Amino acid sequence: MPTVQGTHGNIVNYEVLGIAEAIQKLASIGQQVKDGIDAGTLKAANGVQEEVKESIAGNRSEPKSVDTGNFLNSIQLIKIADGMYEVSTRVEYAKILEYGGIGREPRSHFRNTQARMQEKVKETVTLAVKEAVERT
């Protein structure tokens, strides 16, 4: 809140109190938002990972893609950066299962999961950020 410190002729001096505290509070909120984004993204990515596995197991609309269990058990979650996670597999034949190939229809486990989970991911991250900011 600005306050008048004193006047001298046609000069008025103002002192604004609390600027340092306000800047510190904004920095704290910024860190809380960053932490909330990372926590929410991790939670959402875990949900996506589980949903891809459910798809592969045949518990969603896509055809079951389990023979040996290698593909199902290979679905991994990797942190790329703060607030960025990747759900992927290193299985060589995953692209053929996802996109199809000669004599094989696409099963679209990852693409369909992404479409199904898009709103849920947004809601999860938004809620995590809101909760993080409310704790400040």
Over residues 21-40, the pLDDT tens digits come to 888 888 888 888 999 999 99
Q: Domain range for residue 68? A: 35-134
Backbone φ, ψ for residue 57 (5° rounding): -75, -5
Q: For residue 73, is it within any domain?
A: yes
Q: What is the rounded average pLDDT for all residues in the chain?
A: 90
pLDDT value at 105 more than 70: yes
Q: What would the pLDDT profile of 69-98 be if each residue is shown by its tens digit? A: 999 999 999 999 999 999 999 999 999 999
113 and 120 Cβ atoms separated by less than 8 Å:
no
Looking at residue 58, its pLDDT comes to 97
Q: Is residue 5 part of a domain?
A: no
- Whether residue 98 is contained in a domain is answered as yes
Does a structural domain hold residue 28? Answer: no
Helix (H/G/I), strand (E/B), else coil: 68: coil
Q: Is residue 125 part of a domain?
A: yes
Q: Is residue 59 part of a domain?
A: yes
Whether 2 shows a pLDDT value over 80: the answer reads no
For residues 91 and 109, what is the distance between their CA atoms, to the nearest angstrom?
A: 14
For residue 24, tell me if it sits in a domain.
no
- Please give the Cα distance from 84 to 69 (Å, whole number): 27
DSSP 8-state symbol, 101: B
Is 103 contained in some domain? yes
Own/partner long-range contacts of 9-14 (Cβ < 8 Å, ≥24 apart): none
- Which of 10-19, 104-113, 115-124 shows the lowest mean pLDDT across its residues? 10-19
Q: How many domains does the chain have?
A: 1
